[in-house]
Amino acid sequence: MYNSLKIWMNGELVGWSDAKIHVMSHVAHYGSSTFEGIRCYDTAKGSALLFLDEHVRRLWESSKIYRIEIPYSETEIKDAIISTIKANNHKACYVRPLVFRGQGALGVNPHRASIEVAIATWEWGTYLGEDVLENGVDVKVSSWHRLAPNTLPSWAKAGGNYMNSQLIKMEALSDGYAEGLALDHNGYVAEGSGENIFVVRHNIIYTPLAAQSILPGFTRHAVMHIAKELGYEVRETLIPREALYIADEIFLTGTAAEITPVRSVDRIPIGNEKRGPVTEALQHEYLKIVHSGEDPYNWLTFI
Ligand code: PMP
């Protein structure tokens, strides 16, 4: 499944199985990496990357927060992403640029370790399972909270931060749910293990504040933009846990998850237990852009 011909590694395209790192790489011990997840869509006008500039910018910002100096320019990495997709003959794929600390330091202090960059691409379908874009997913409120402020920086998309996401995801799966929703350190709704969350009630769309230990995603931003274009009121605000149970609709957003409806939370049915009309309208507009290649907001980079 996660396989293709080539991976771009430190400046050159190498065979998938040759893209290796040493076990004494700093990243393997301390989680010192930053990364991105980008989708390339097979639109009616050709293959196009969604939010390429924004994702590459965020890779730089995540790295800046963790004092990682990437030894390439943003343009070089964008070009490398496109070369990798072409080398793998993908029409549509998921793109994973990864920056990590390599060999040279064995202690916590990372500064003597090398900084390495890899870009992998592979063909990937729906993130949370087949049919979920229509039927929705069952989720639970996790017993694990998101990162508290000033512990790990939630605005950085960094490897170590995802130890928290793994706890949320594994607990949800072992309890029979597709995904876990985490509360922030104050007990307000924050996000899923790899998605932002939206709650619809009385035709108003609510989403947690960017400062609430979330990764403020580009899909979240796109959905807020589309919602306003469609005339909905969107409020970024604190959402108490109980608002989930009495919501008319809930959906999750992310590059991988796209716009995924939630049909139950903690086995309490949401709305009529399938995709609601607001979710459907937003999904329709979003998927129209990435499938047709009509790009009214300049979100696509054709390759
Ligand atoms: N939150 C977390 C924790 C994530 O991992 C992701 C996926 N990158 C998101 C939110 C959604 O971000 P985006 O829409 O930019 O993919």
45 assigned to active site: no
Ligand 1 neighbourhood includes 260 CB (under 6 angstroms): no
Given 68, 99, 122, the domain boundary residue is: 122
Q: Give me 116's structure tokens.
A: 């390495």
Per-residue model confidence (pLDDT) at position 105: 84
Assess contact for 188 and 239: CB atoms under 8 A. Answer: yes
**Rounded mean pLDDT, 171-190:** 98
Give the confidence band of 2 by pLDDT, cuts at 50, 70, 90: confident
Residue 234's nearest CA partner among 246, 226, 243, 245 is 226
Residue 238 CA to ligand 1 center (angstroms) comes to 19
Give the confidence band of 74 by pLDDT, cuts at 50, 70, 90: very high
- Establish if 1 belongs to a structural domain: no
Tens digit of pLDDT for each residue in 83-116? 999 999 999 999 999 999 999 988 999 999 999 9
Q: Give me 80's structure tokens.
A: 């490398």
Is the confidence at residue 58, as pLDDT, over 80?
A: yes
Domain that holds residue 21: 6-122
- Establish if 171 belongs to a structural domain: yes
- Mean pLDDT, the chain, integer: 96
Per-residue model confidence (pLDDT) at position 126: 73
- Is 109 in the same domain as 184? no
Assess contact for 249 and 270: CB atoms under 8 A. Answer: yes
- Is 158 in the same domain as 280? yes
Residue 210 CA to ligand 1 center (angstroms) comes to 12
Per-residue model confidence (pLDDT) at position 128: 73
Percentage of residues in the chain with pLDDT exceeding 90? 95
Q: For residue 87, what is the enclosing H or E element? A: helix 74-87
Look at the chain and report how many structural domains it folds into.
2
Residue 207 CA to ligand 1 center (angstroms) comes to 14
Ligand 1 neighbourhood includes 179 CB (under 6 angstroms): no
- Is 117 in the same domain as 137? no
Give Cβ neighbours of residue 44 (< 8 Å, ≥ 6 apart). 291, 292, 293
Query: Please, what's the b/e burial string for 110-149 (b: 16 or more CB within 10 A of its CB; e: otherwise)?
Result: beebebbbbbbbbebeebbeeebbeebbbbbbbebbbbee
Is the confidence at residue 1, as pLDDT, over 70?
A: no
CA distance 289 to 76: 27
Which of 50, 218, 255 to mutate for ligand 1's pocket (most ligand atoms within 8 Å of CB)? 255
- Establish if 261 belongs to a structural domain: yes
List the residue whose alpha carbon is closest to atom 13 of ligand 1: 217
Is the confidence at residue 130, as pLDDT, over 90?
A: no
Is the confidence at residue 152, as pLDDT, over 70?
A: yes
- Is 207 in the same domain as 115? no
